[in-house]
Structure 1
């Protein structure tokens, strides 16, 4: 009697099925290396003229693993088309686009790629802070527009050394931010879901209190129902007219309308923003402000971080199919 293939495994291949879930416009450049280990099911590659949901229902019902590419939404309706699903491997640091409640109900494990992106995101956060304080991008524009010759020296910026920096979310990214800021002589404090017993920095359970004792807030936390608009007008007010906000987390951590008004009215000292509430749309009122540095959601992305993400994704898939522990496992609430 011939042996039966493991459920979710292509007959005769010996390679388990892995569903790739992505926007049609999203590239998945690592498919070739994935195919060395897995049978890839990708609606946009395998059956581009068929609606994705129809493909899932017809072809992917037995898939036990799914790779969610970037911020592609993975709602409960899509998860219900995948009755055999046991693990979602995320390729981004955040997981707010995945229905974690449905995953928890179904017992589906979820991982992210935060460890692959943490160092690059931390570098970028510090770069944004330096740029906002020292006005490097604004000074570059001033020079290129011929204003140095016409108007004289550009106005002074502010030093980073000695600033009180509050980190919101002391996870992978936040910890690397703290590590990079210590040599500058910054006084670091943090807010997180809970106090970290081994952490040497002061802990504030309230972001309002953290802001009251900070010159800078750096946002590195995940976007959840609890952290949506956690940076509101009250927080901006106590941060003050020389305070700076840096966001490399998610745009909706900040009440963007209130942020724009605080900056336009001079009630906040500056901002470095890599993420926005309605990407790629963003408030054009910020374009003319020299104390604001804007970036198109690039903090985590380098060739090196992409390669680290690829390795982490393959490693987690191999671990899952070998019944070994997963890395970067997301704790469902």
Structure 2
């Protein structure tokens, strides 16, 4: 008889759901509203699949007496109650590295779009305002080569961002909790120092209580009026109110954002601003990434149910 697994990720593509349904007795529920669900399968559920932005809380963990593994489909696990899971001896896994390449690609896409003012240029053209052969001087940008990119968080995604930025002849440095001995890029021991050095700050760190709002007003001021912020991590790492104020006042030049503090709600002020490129949290939305996330999720569940070692336990 197949193991019973609860899937809390309502946005999982059909191509990933299909193998999960074929392999397990898959119970599919949206996390929102599950508190009122009687969940008659609760005693049978031994595994949960979720993602970081949805997570699973203590209340639901306590309703699942035989839960043994929480498998995070993505790489983040910020809204999983790790403490509650550990108290019960429940294993938590995440698929770190599965989507690193495509998220790094998105970071560079947002960086290029912000620095080269692609959003402004497209809106200018679509509005029928391009009436002379030459592009307007107002859309002149600073370009890429020789600019300084500071990366906050040099994990698997951050390293790929660094290598992509270097390929554009950009100078790279980073800030981490600690320096990486094998990293070929300069290390800054504070975020303030990195922001003061950088022209572009790319946010690629994990979201937890230690990083909540870490990109604040002082960091944005240190980045300066020619500076850009790119965020492909989590919205709560950046003080969103401070970012809006910095964009409105010219404290920084622009931003490229794939994540927001209260998704899917995006502040109207950000939507109105010309100097921001916005995307609906799609950095990991490639077929290759979802194939790998599905494979790693199934591998974690299978290994746990078979009593085999887990290589990606948190």
TM-score, structure 1 as length reference: 0.86
**How many matched pairs?**
309
Change (3 A) 1:242 1:68: same
Alpha-carbon distance, 1:135 to partner: 0.9
Matched, 1:174 2:174: no
1:18/1:67 contact within 8 Å kept: yes
1:115/1:328 contact within 8 Å kept: no
Q: Identify unmatched segments of 5+ residues in structure 1.
A: 1-12
Matched, 1:32 2:21: no
1:41/1:60 contact within 8 Å kept: no
Instruction: Report what 2:60 is aligned to.
Output: 78
State the distance in 1 between where 2:151 and 2:220 align: 15
Pairing partner for 2:5 from 10, 18, 39: 18
2:72/2:93 contact within 8 Å kept: yes
Once the two structures are superposed, what CA deviation does each residue of 1:97-118 show, in whole Å capped at 9, x if it has no partner?
1111212222322122332211
Matched, 1:198 2:170: no
Matched, 1:184 2:168: yes
State the distance in 2 between where 1:107 and 1:149 align: 66
State the distance in 2 between where 1:50 and 1:199 align: 44
State the distance in 1 between where 2:261 and 2:232 align: 12
Change (3 A) 1:51 1:199: closer
State the distance in 2 between where 1:188 and 1:219 align: 13
Instruction: Report what 1:153 is aligned to.
Output: 135
1:179-258 aligned at under 5 Å gives the runs 179-258=163-242
Once the two structures are superposed, what CA deviation does each residue of 1:137-159 show, in whole Å capped at 9, x if it has no partner?
21121122121206962221121
Alpha-carbon distance, 1:219 to partner: 0.6
Alpha-carbon distance, 1:33 to partner: 1.5
Instruction: Report what 2:38 is aligned to.
Output: 54
State the distance in 2 between where 1:85 and 1:101 align: 15
TM-score, structure 2 as length reference: 0.91
Matched, 1:309 2:296: no
Pairing partner for 1:114 from 93, 96, 100: 96
Instruction: Report what 1:42 is aligned to.
Output: 28
2:52/2:78 contact within 8 Å kept: no
Instruction: Report what 1:131 is aligned to.
Output: 113
1:290-305 aligned at under 5 Å gives the runs 290-305=274-289
> Rg bigger for which structure?
1
1:31/1:40 contact within 8 Å kept: no
State the distance in 1 between where 2:135 and 2:161 align: 32
State the distance in 2 between where 1:227 and 1:158 align: 30
2:52/2:80 contact within 8 Å kept: no
Quote the RMSD (CA, aligned, Å). Answer: 2.2
Q: Identify unmatched segments of 5+ residues in structure 2.
A: none
Alpha-carbon distance, 1:188 to partner: 1.1
2:52/2:79 contact within 8 Å kept: no
Alpha-carbon distance, 1:187 to partner: 1.5
State the distance in 1 between where 2:111 and 2:142 align: 11
Alpha-carbon distance, 1:60 to partner: 2.5
Instruction: Report what 1:10 is aligned to.
Output: none
Change (3 A) 1:50 1:86: closer
Alpha-carbon distance, 1:321 to partner: 2.0
Instruction: Report what 1:7 is aligned to.
Output: none
- SS of the residue corresponding to residue 99 of structure 2 reads helix
Alpha-carbon distance, 1:61 to partner: 2.2
